Structure 1
Amino acid sequence: MKKSFIDTRQHLLDIGLELMARSGFSAVGLSQILAKANVPKGSFYHYFTSKEQFANTVLAAYFDAYLQEMDQHLAHANTPQGLMPYFEHWYDSYGQECQQQRCLVVKLSAEVADLSDDMRLTLVNGSQAIIDKLEHALLAQQADLQPQAMRLANHLYQLWLGASLLTKLQRSKQPLDLALIQTQQWLSQWQRPCH
């Protein structure tokens, strides 16, 4: 039985995510993607106009899935400390060797920023969507502190993105350990009533 359009397209995206998370964008050739996916070159161009457009679609799908998973972690965040399961999950996921393609943003951000404006913008928009979700969760606690919530959400994301990069560079969980401690402190302070 022949694979459907959606199945083949999704299969290519899954393979692309796996390979790019492991090796980056530039190091993964189209022939490598096609060989691993067992899809002919002509079929690839039926779904995607170029490797860049394919990679951009991989990134967009990655963020869609990530944001849905993030919603699950934040669904019961009734207090600022309720955000900790999200960051603990980040700690567990990024502290390993790119398990489940968690480090795709860390892996590709610096690499594609100068190669592809479309991919750069997808990374910018996806990262901003993550920050917006953090801000929304903080505002659920203290709705009158919108500017502070926006700043804290940005600080948290930057802290964790930087810690993930350093963890990858140093091959040590120490940057993530420090990020977890700092996050607990910031969220504890956020929880205190302001007078």
Structure 2
Amino acid sequence: MGATLSTRDHLLQVGLERLRSTGYTATGVKEVLDVANVPKGSFYHYFPSKEEFAVEVFRLYATGEMERSARVFGDRKVAPVKRLRRYFEELISVYGQRGEISGCLVGSLSLEVADHSPRLRSELQAVYEGWQKSIADVLREAVQQGELAKSTRPDALAEFLLNSYEGALVRMKAEKSDRPLENFLHFAFDVLLKKQS
């Protein structure tokens, strides 16, 4: 029998589902409270504002994504570039057009609130930096193992891959199609990161 979530954790879970499906602006505190079946006073006991609530929801999301990357990237039985491809394939299966809720919360919040909320922008920047570093570490490993040329610049390449993936997600939303994500996978792995002889 699983442990019952605390009121705070329950609010964060509901908030995560609402932020992912409707975005920051369209998600109201009252809506979260109604879905969670929690009184208003409980919300403000745990969170001083909607913005601070969104920060905590985003941290919950980011923690789950860090666990995903650690699991996939930590499988040392698989070659580094193959691990990286598996990672992006898993992300696409979860956040692509056919996912339960398509789109990435990092990208969505970046587009929706980064210009208006220095607090959330700071959280987003930290997540992008950590995400990019984890990709760059796998690329460094690929260079060390001879999968990629010694001249490869892992940090810059990781930034390019991350930006390309996030851009493909945005276009996927506009087109209601996984084609941009499939195109990203093809050019990233069958062209750019193809094993060099």
TM range (shorter): 0.7 to 0.9
Matches within 5 A, 1:173-192: 173-184=178-189, 185-188=191-194, 191-192=195-196
Q: Indicate whether 1:38 and 2:44 are aligned.
A: no
SS in 1 for 2:143: coil
Matches within 5 A, 1:80-119: 80-96=81-97, 99=100, 103-119=104-120
**Would the alpha carbon gap of residues 97 and 80 (structure 1) be closer, same or farther in structure 2, given more than 3 Å must change?**
closer
How much does 1:113 deviate?
A: 1.1
In structure 2, how many angstroms separate the alpha carbons of the residues matched to 1:10 and 1:146?
A: 46
Percent sequence identity is: 33
What are the ranges of 5 or more consecutive residues in structure 1 without an aligned counterpart? none
Query: Structure 2 length normalisation: TM-score?
Result: 0.87
In structure 2, how many angstroms separate the alpha carbons of the residues matched to 1:38 and 1:110?
A: 30
How much does 1:153 deviate?
A: 0.5
Matches within 5 A, 1:146-165: 148-165=153-170
| Aligned amino acid, residue 29 of structure 2 | L
Q: Which has the higher helix share?
A: 1
How much does 1:145 deviate?
A: 5.2
How much does 1:82 deviate?
A: 2.6
How much does 1:147 deviate?
A: 6.9
The structure whose RCO (Cα within 8 Å, separation 6+) is larger is 1
Kept in 2, the 8 Å contact 1:81–1:187? The answer is: no
Structure 1 runs of 4+ off > 4 angstroms? 143-147
Query: Structure 1 length normalisation: TM-score?
Result: 0.88
Q: Indicate whether 1:168 and 2:168 are aligned.
A: no
Q: CA RMSD in A?
A: 2.2
How much does 1:61 deviate?
A: 1.3
What are the ranges of 5 or more consecutive residues in structure 2 without an aligned counterpart? none
**Would the alpha carbon gap of residues 80 and 117 (structure 1) be closer, same or farther in structure 2, given more than 3 Å must change?**
same
